[in-house]
Structure 1
């Protein structure tokens, strides 16, 4: 006999369970996002040292095997709730404004204060770390274009595009075209990812094994010396720029995808699953991402790195990068910089709605 009360109760329990899983998933990925922004800051801070300190070179390569793919993956995961509708339009408008503001700011500072030579000051060539904003906008548009395909089809298409873009005879930096397609599979994978499955797999034993494997990867990189070409990890270079003109060069990118998948998967073992201060910091990683470049540029423009020759000095650079990450994650930083980092876009949405409404009125009277 059908019992509507029992059925309603079961549905209620299911909804509560789903919400609880979503909450745990959000906590986990916010924690992951903060650990990744620490890696971003450390990686950029030690880059000037990698040619003269072998340990720094190994740490740099180890970080780059997973931090960009995982960051894109996390970005795709959090795009679930804001891909379409007004929420999606708001995010894309905000990304566009962030790009315009910081592309202009960094270019002006390069000319006036940092006096950096050899940089293309163009809105069509994203400035260093700003490639992520340009590509994020494109990932959202590409995923919308692929909505009629199944998740598996989307993933296969994105991997194919990531491999094929390397054959283009152009500079992959322009329009961030190379990184957009190279990292697209990770954005799509993150968008469709189910935290419930990961929660089942990520047991204590699996975490320990993952930590050991991650340490083993670092050791392998250290022992291989300088044979690994960092350009492959950046995703911004074509096969021609990497000095690979073979017709089968795309197979190297497929092998790299496998390496990044393994490196990213084992790094998840380091991520705490409980809510903590890290979780709150993870909500403000955008501030660290957009502001830390100013600190890195300033440090590079000073004689600071000329004094870093010993392991202790190199460790001080790493500790400093971690400390500055924590500093830029503070609520007070958000309070004072939010107009530039999270610019209001309601006015643009209002203009869009008015324009749409006006067009509708004209259509009715035609």
Structure 2
């Protein structure tokens, strides 16, 4: 019997804890978005969340991709991502037309609907990693950073095909894929971890009290430099500076993540359900007009608490049992058809 490496098991526990904490910030960030123009504290919290949550989410995705990038497992994951994208792109678009009526949405299979950019980009990250498979780790990271900077110069809408976010966040996927938990754990011992956690809370306090007015498009990563109004030839330097800010904020947030097993670890195994379904909750809340009644700190606190409660609810095993065919559709039939077609090929 092969015994699991204790360090690998500890690393998986840490990253599952991190993944659940990040999905809380994803839900919370989307839930408070209607409030950020009305409440300075919510604007600061929103900026704090966006300073690290997507970079770290992509990093975690890259870390777990190591287990299923190549071979039959990798092909199966890509097929499932494609099915998830088609299902939820159709579902969200249909609900938007009939119920949500959100402004500024491109209703096209080639323009991922809001949060679904992550699925499109995830498939691209995997394909790019396969293409870079024979490169050194240093070359992969260098290419990813260069591509993340260069994509901003394209004279196109960065939303199409999720091209902007795919390359802007590619460095974090590559870093996650090569991430050494052993080296991280040696560094983030008691005092370093506590200092990092304190730094993250300090960043939050500074942003909440007197945060800089950074255009949110820079934090979203879905806009070109032209769309952001940065038409200087050296606009790529701004993205490099933002990478430095995001890495700093991410390293600080990692100090808040526990190493030990807990219920949160188990919930972290089902964050895909929270990610794909939470948009329905947020859109329904916005369409209901409930945000018109939120105008003070108490109301904002209730919104945040509700987001946390829904995150826990959607991460429950019962939700997975009920919605598994929708969220994780079987692609075995596609693999069977492919094998049958290959057998018939002369």
Into which bin does the TM-score normalised by the smaller protein fall?
over 0.9
1:344 corresponds, among 330, 334, 343, to: 330
Is 347-356 or 145-154 further displaced after alignment? 347-356
Corresponding position: 1:232 with 2:231 = no
2:65 corresponds, among 68, 74, 79, to: 79
Q: Map 1:27-176 to 2 at 5 A.
A: 27-176=13-162
Unpaired runs of 5+ residues, structure 1, are: 1-11
1:358 Cα deviation after fit: 2.4
- Partners of 1:332 and 1:196 lie apart in 2 by 34
Is 345-354 or 291-300 further displaced after alignment? 345-354
1:226 Cα deviation after fit: 5.1
Aligned residue number for residue 7 of structure 1: none
Cα deviation digits, residues 242-273 of structure 1 (max 9, x gap): 10000100000001001111111111111111
Aligned residue number for residue 333 of structure 1: 319
- Partners of 2:230 and 2:103 lie apart in 1 by 28
Aligned residue number for residue 303 of structure 2: 317
Q: Map 1:16-27 to 2 at 5 A.
A: 19-27=5-13
Give me the CA root mean square deviation.
1.3
- Partners of 2:163 and 2:48 lie apart in 1 by 24
- Partners of 2:172 and 2:220 lie apart in 1 by 14
Unpaired runs of 5+ residues, structure 2, are: none
- Partners of 1:119 and 1:176 lie apart in 2 by 13
2:190 corresponds, among 204, 207, 217, to: 204
Corresponding position: 1:356 with 2:311 = no
- Partners of 1:198 and 1:173 lie apart in 2 by 34
Aligned residue number for residue 203 of structure 2: 217
Number of residue pairs matched by the alignment: 346
2:247 corresponds, among 239, 246, 261, to: 261
Answer with 1 or 2: which has the greater Rg: 1
For 2:255, what is the secondary structure of its paired residue? helix
For 1:90, what is the secondary structure of its paired residue? helix
For 1:125, what is the secondary structure of its paired residue? coil
For 1:26, what is the secondary structure of its paired residue? helix
For 2:127, what is the secondary structure of its paired residue? helix
Q: In 1, are the aligned partners of 2:41 and 2:209 still within 8 Å (CA)?
A: no
1:223 Cα deviation after fit: 4.3
- Partners of 1:352 and 1:322 lie apart in 2 by 42
With structure 2 as the length reference, what TM-score do the two structures score? Answer: 0.98
